[in-house]
Amino acid sequence: MTVTIAPATELDAVFGGVNSHADTIHVAVITDRGGDVADAEFPTTSSGYAAAVALLNAHGTVTAVVSKGPPPTARDSPVPPAMRA
């Protein structure tokens, strides 16, 4: 797992991006001004999903999250069952 973190200011709106794959999810956090805040990849396990959510929440109130790729199918996913593939 590689993690890159740069602090967001209190005035920045924070957005998340998630790219899902069969074995990993890649999470990025940016500001409304395009600043890179955090970037990490996690396994598609319950601890990986928990770490991904923690990464998003660690940088203030997330305004929105955009996902690329199919919805997670793992039983451990924080995505509600009705939204899973």
Q: What domains sit in the chain, N to C, each tagged with a CATH number?
A: 3-70 (3.30.420.40)
Tens digit of each residue's pLDDT (9 = 90 or more) over 23-75:
898 999 998 888 888 999 999 888 898 899 899 888 888 888 888 776 555 55
Q: What is d(CA 39, CA 23) in angstroms, rounded to the nearest whole number? A: 17
pTM of the model: 0.69
Q: What is d(CA 37, CA 8) in angstroms, rounded to the nearest whole number? A: 6
